[in-house]
Amino acid sequence: MKYIRDQERLTQFGQRLRQVRQSKGFTQESLAAAAELEFSQIGRIERGVINTSLSTVFVIARTLQVDVRELFDFSNVSGSGLNRK
């Protein structure tokens, strides 16, 4: 089975995470500490460098006190002209 990496969506997810994190008043460091994640992991996710796990996404959403769906709302991030079905 071929590994599929959708770089556009990874980048959009990272941009959206940054928007939500900043709107909630978290720095990368404070979010990482509160979520018990490595500080560098938050930066890599926000830059679209890593394809993070769903478990991590749920931990981040819970830490930010948002519904996980909010992190996947790409309507206000650059490159959001994706076709939706």
Please write the tens of the pLDDT for every residue from 20-38.
999 999 999 999 999 999 9
3-state secondary structure labels for all residues of 7-66: HHHHHHHHHHHHHHHHHCCCCHHHHHHHHCCCHHHHHHHHCCCCCCCHHHHHHHHHHHCC
Look at the chain and count its residues. 85
Predicted confidence at residue 4, as pLDDT, reads 75
Half-sphere CA count of 40, side-chain side, radius 13 A: 0
Predicted confidence at residue 5, as pLDDT, reads 81
How many other CB atoms sit within 10 Å of the CB of residue 61? 19
> Model's pTM, two decimal places?
0.87
Residue-by-residue pLDDT tens, the chain, 85 positions: 677 789 999 999 999 999 999 999 999 999 999 999 999 999 999 999 999 999 999 999 999 999 999 999 999 887 544 444 3
